[in-house]
Amino acid sequence: MEKVKIGVYVCHCGTNIAGTVDVEEVAKYAETLPYVVVARHYPYTCSDPGQELIKKDIKELGVNRIVVASCSPRLHEKTFQGVLREAGLNPYLFQMANIREQCSWLHEPGPELTEKAKRMVGAAVNRVARHVPLEIRAVPIFPATLVVGGGIAGMQAALEIANSNHMVYIVEREPSIGGHMAQFDKTFPTLDCAACILTPRMTEVSRHPFIRILTYSEVVAISGYVGNFKVKIRRKPRYVDEGKCIGCLVCQEKCPWTALSEFNAGTGKRKAIYTPFAQAVPNIPVIDTEHCAYFLKGKCRACEKFCDANAINFEQSELVFELEVGNIIMATGFDTFEASSVPQYGYGRYPNVFTSIEFERLCSPTGPTEGHIILADGRQPESVAIVHCVGSRDKNYNEYCSRVCCMHALKYSHLIKEKTNAEIYQMYIDMRCFGKGYEEFYNRISNEGVNFIRGKVAKVTDEAIAEEEKGKLIVLVEDTLLGTMLRVPVDMVILCIALEPRKDANEVAQLFHIGRSADGFFLERHPKLDPVATMSEGILIAGCCQGPKDIPDSVAQASAAAARALAMIARGKIEVAAVTASIDETKCSGCRICNLLCPYDAIFFDEETKVSRINEVLCQGCGVCAAACPSGAITHNYFTADEIEAEIEGVLA
Amino acid sequence: MEVLSPYKEAADVILEAGGEPLKLCYQCGLCTGICPWNMVRSFLVRRIMHEAQLGATNFGSEDVWTCVTCRACVQRCPRGVEIIDVMRAVRRAVASLGLGIVPDALRISAKNIAGVGNPLGEAPEKRNDWAKDLKVKNFASGTEILYFPCCVPSYDADVKTVARSSVTIFNKLKINYGLIGTEVKCCGESIRKAGHEDTFQSLAKNNINLFASNGVKTVVAASPHCYHTFKNEYPELGGKFEVIHITQYLASLIEQGKLKLSKEVNKKVIYSDPCYLGRHNSVYDEPRKVLQSIPGLELLEFPDAREEGLCCGGGGGRIWMDTPKGERFSDIRVEQAAAKGADVIALACPYCFLNYRDSVLSMGKAETMQVRDVGELVAEAMSI
């Protein structure tokens, strides 16, 4: 084996590091360490001249191991590994010492910072001396993409990819694609009708030769890795033969059984055999077995009798099948905040307290009132209070701002003014109208005559203390600009409820091996520079599953996720790091603990030899098995015990 | 028009006195909307927070002393601001730095507490006189439980019954308990909320040393205020002992089968949650369990009970200050109790007892509405 020659490069990162760490002293110290043949400090090591410096040393001094002491490996490990590769070295003969995030940015300035930086460099030097070249494999990318969720974000991503003639599967758990946007009446700030812009999209998706829509279906298992995912889909039985159904919906008309309509947010009824809304895609109904008399009591079958196409099939069973895809785009959307968890606002207790999504349906011509804004008793409201930040910006519920509520609250003012003569009160904490055309919209709605009251509502009550309050809902709030308590009697209260992570976000995150941020939404790889990727290669996120956002932002993020997937498809293959684990079969006791822990199903038990084996193609090098193995039989080739001990010794030196 | 300038020095004084949490306030006004004062008069909690942020506090205003520290606002605050800590900090700035005037009634109580160890100004050696005829032992080695009756039942002729009923129950059940000597002082909870930090520190140190030297391991407290400070504030000063509120203790005796209630008390009883037992310490169920164990007793609830329970008006030092008629929360409570058809208001706090007693008398309802401690009702159900 050739002699180990280490080059150390201490980065100033402008003043980020050099401002508090004596980089010259760190470099001088590094020069005294074993195997180090050169140690330099440089203002921006990641810059072209910085990279050239490393290349030159590799060529001229025969340096064959590199340590860069700079920022986080998340930021520049790939950059410097590229330098090694270009200079003809194996990129794994490299180690980074993060003296910025873990040192100069972390502590109060003082001489200890330089001391800490020295030890971190010492650890990296000690470790890199023991690195061995690792093999890099090129794996072909499967060109199809899976989009999970058929809302506006999912449809956008699917169309972007499919338009380049690559196959896309959309998996949607509801009977129709469309998502939340299909429930909205109008969209801010342009006030164009949501259905008018959404349904052409839905049709385009359904007719696209490169898109296959799988509604009423869910992902139940996933294996493989970037470029080569195997996804197991469970298709729930519709009890309607999709090949035969012609979408006449006579069955829906004739069905005598009803349930609360999910699409109408519980404000109206639907049948037991139903499509969620008139423009549903596909236009094929499903039977809700929890409300169908045939499934409950064994009698009825009215739908079957009236179906001329003979499409009703009570014997249909669920279908489980597998898809192979190279990339997965998560577009699973959001759930709305449960308004009754703020008992003082009276939701569920007073019939004229509505949530925002209920109000959307009330406004919609396809909703339960055919677009008439009416109270529970059928009267038109003479006054309406719109309460902002219900479940948002509140440590007791969700600390974050839901971003869309100020705008839809303004939209509601307009819709109410358009259809009634009601007086409108908006109770807000701060008006956040940040998007393109949003402030102008605020201006327009103000001009239409809306009362803005700055204060968070304390209570909604029906206890009248004055004649004019009788029969009304009274909204108690401090007008913080006047500095006085107000009692505002109104006929209707609309609660602008928070956008929340899906109830099953945790299970879904575990299924797809992606993380969640503190707010519960899916975690992006980098909040600014990589908001569409996740920490799992090949799994991308778009829309409200990553955090509350409006339609333009959802669509933009979906297009970005699609571009990322397309880039991968265009490359055709991906280099997979040879960072894997291996099992020393002579030490393995066959306990199978690793089999169960492996998140990639890469470990299997060999019944003949009674030991576990690792499939290196599937192994992602996460290291869980190596950490858990009670016999110490598993070695991770980039985190060997020898390397870790060397690193610790370097710190303690 | 009056023009104000932010006054950093004043803001800093409040911050240093423990007003740190106000930095989080985003001025939504929810606290004002929730504050019970706004049922009877204007009290802009939000404005006080903002004035403190800018150092624009009017230290001479009576608003400095208005907050009853009931915690209704803190419980709902969307930013988790410990508003009571801010109120206390403003009061500290007045009391210790002389930035304003301490109201007379409060000043006298504070002087009494600092001088003789109780707010009533009574002689320390008379502290245990209420128990003279009840064969109560002094706490000694081997005693399991220290009963701590609070200054009000110790000295106030009408409220004595709170302490007397409890020790009568203990005697009947042969509980191994005792009273600590007359060196004990006021727990200091309320005087601390009223801004007198130094007084609190010296009271707490006195009591902690006294408890420690007597080997006290468990304290049963009659007042939620004593309970609160023993449980949540004394540990920081080195006072480490188990604290149980009397209603929790009675509930545990009932659960263990040691306390059996046989005599019917055929009354409609409505229970008022004390702020310092309920919102401050989340004890809601035990007092109700005790009352529900009494045969014949019908337990009623106020329209706003438990987390929403209305304060009696006596917290934060307000117990020593006069609240004009028309602004007394306990008056509202007595009306509510009557509307619910109750004939007894059951209480678990000596301050509540004082306020409700005054309300019933001043409203001329003494004939139709009784004010009773939970322990008193238990004693009645034990035929003692």
Residues A380, A514: Cα–Cα separation, whole Å: 48
Mean pLDDT over B85-104 rounds to 92
Residues B28, A479: Cα–Cα separation, whole Å: 9
Are A59 and A30 spatial neighbours (Cβ–Cβ below 8 Å)?
A: no
Q: What pLDDT score was predicted for residue B99?
A: 86
Are A83 and A42 spatial neighbours (Cβ–Cβ below 8 Å)?
A: no
Are A293 and A282 spatial neighbours (Cβ–Cβ below 8 Å)?
A: no
Q: CA of B80, closest CA in chain A: separation in Å?
A: 6
Of A396, A430, A483, the CB nearest to B76: A396
Q: Which CATH number fits domain A335-500: 3.40.50.300, 1.10.3720.10, 3.50.50.60, 3.40.50.11310?
A: 3.50.50.60
The pLDDT-based confidence of A331 (bands split at 50, 70, 90) is very high
Residue A1 has pLDDT above 70, yes or no: no
Q: What pLDDT, in 10s, does the model give residues B183-216?
A: 999 999 999 999 999 999 999 999 999 999 999 9
Instruction: Report the CATH number of the A145-236+318-334+501-571 domain.
Output: 3.50.50.60
Residues A147, A557: Cα–Cα separation, whole Å: 13
A-interface mutation test, from B28, B42, B47, B81, most A Cβ less than 10 A away: B28
One-letter amino acid at B242 equals E
One-letter amino acid at A470 equals K
> Cβ B34–A458 below 8 Å, yes or no?
yes
Contacts of A347 (CB under 8 A, 6+ apart): A339, A340, A353, A355, A495
Residue B359 has pLDDT above 70, yes or no: yes
CA B18 to chain centre: 21
Q: What pLDDT, in 10s, does the model give residues A272-292?
A: 999 999 999 999 999 999 999
Interface of B with A (CB under 8 A): 26-30, 32-34, 38, 42, 44, 46-47, 76-80, 308
The pLDDT-based confidence of B8 (bands split at 50, 70, 90) is confident
Residues A73, A124: Cα–Cα separation, whole Å: 12
Of A393, A459, A480, the CB nearest to B78: A393
Mean pLDDT over B219-245 rounds to 97
Buried b (16+ CB within 10 A) or exposed e, B128-158: bebbeeeebeebeeebebbbbbbbbbbbbee
Of all residues in chain B, what percent carry a pLDDT higher than 70? 99
Chain A residues with CB under 8 Å of B33 CB are 455-459, 476-478, 485
Of B28, B32, B38, the CB nearest to A429: B28
Size of interface A-B (CB pairs under 8 A): 58
E-strand spans in A103-179?
Answer: 137-140, 145-148, 168-171
CATH class name, domain A581-636: alpha beta
Q: A69-78, A594-603, B51-60: which has the minimum mean pLDDT?
A: A594-603
Q: What pLDDT score was predicted for residue A298?
A: 93
Contacts of A600 (CB under 8 A, 6+ apart): A223, A224, A225, A513, A618, A619, A620, A622
Residue A519 has pLDDT above 90, yes or no: yes
Nearest-CA neighbor of A50 among A21, A7, A92? A7
Chain B residues with CB under 8 Å of A476 CB are 33
A-interface mutation test, from B26, B32, B48, B310, most A Cβ less than 10 A away: B32
Residue A577 has pLDDT above 80, yes or no: no
Q: What pLDDT score was predicted for residue B4?
A: 75
Residue A63 has pLDDT above 90, yes or no: yes
Of all residues in chain A, what percent carry a pLDDT higher than 70? 100
B-interface mutation test, from A393, A480, A487, A488, most B Cβ less than 10 A away: A480
Q: What pLDDT score was predicted for residue A74?
A: 84
Q: What pLDDT score was predicted for residue B5?
A: 79
Mean pLDDT over B115-140 rounds to 95
CA B233 to chain centre: 14
| Greatest CA separation for chain B | 70
Mean pLDDT over A128-142 rounds to 91
Same-fold call for A145-236+318-334+501-571 versus A335-500:
yes
**Mean pLDDT taken over chain B:** 95
> Cβ A458–B30 below 8 Å, yes or no?
yes
Strands A192-193 and A581-583: unpaired
User: H or E segment at B319?
Assistant: none
**Residue ranges of the alpha helices (H) in A387-504?**
405-419, 438-449
The domain limits of chain A are 6-134, 145-236+318-334+501-571, 250-306, 335-500, 581-636
Of all residues in chain B, what percent carry a pLDDT higher than 90? 93
Q: Which domains does chain B have, with CATH numbers?
A: 8-97 (no CATH), 115-251 (1.20.1050), 261-381 (3.40.50.10700)
Mean pLDDT over B157-162 rounds to 94
Q: What pLDDT score was predicted for residue A86?
A: 95
Mean pLDDT over B80-95 rounds to 95
Strands A217-225 and A228-235: antiparallel
CATH class name, domain A6-134: alpha beta
The pLDDT-based confidence of A100 (bands split at 50, 70, 90) is very high
Residues A208, A167: Cα–Cα separation, whole Å: 10
B-interface mutation test, from A485, A486, A487, A488, most B Cβ less than 10 A away: A485
Q: What pLDDT, in 10s, does the model give residues B102-127?
A: 999 999 999 999 999 999 999 999 99
With 0-12 / 13-18 / 19 or more C-beta atoms within 10 angstroms meaning exposed / middle / buried, residue A316 is: middle
> Cβ B33–A476 below 8 Å, yes or no?
yes
Q: Which residue in chain B has the smallest CA separation from A429? A: B28
Q: CA of A354, closest CA in chain B: separation in Å?
A: 21
Q: Please, what sign has the CA dihedral across residues A256, A262, A264, A265?
A: positive
**Mean pLDDT taken over chain A:** 95
Nearest-CA neighbor of B199 among B264, B102, B273, B130? B102
Q: What pLDDT score was predicted for residue B3?
A: 79
Residues A355, A351: Cα–Cα separation, whole Å: 11
Mean pLDDT over A202-223 rounds to 97
Nearest-CA neighbor of B36 among B62, B69, B77? B69
Residues B46, B22: Cα–Cα separation, whole Å: 10
> Cβ B79–A395 below 8 Å, yes or no?
yes
Chain B residues with CB under 8 Å of A389 CB are 28, 78
Residue B1 has pLDDT above 60, yes or no: no
Residue B167 has pLDDT above 60, yes or no: yes
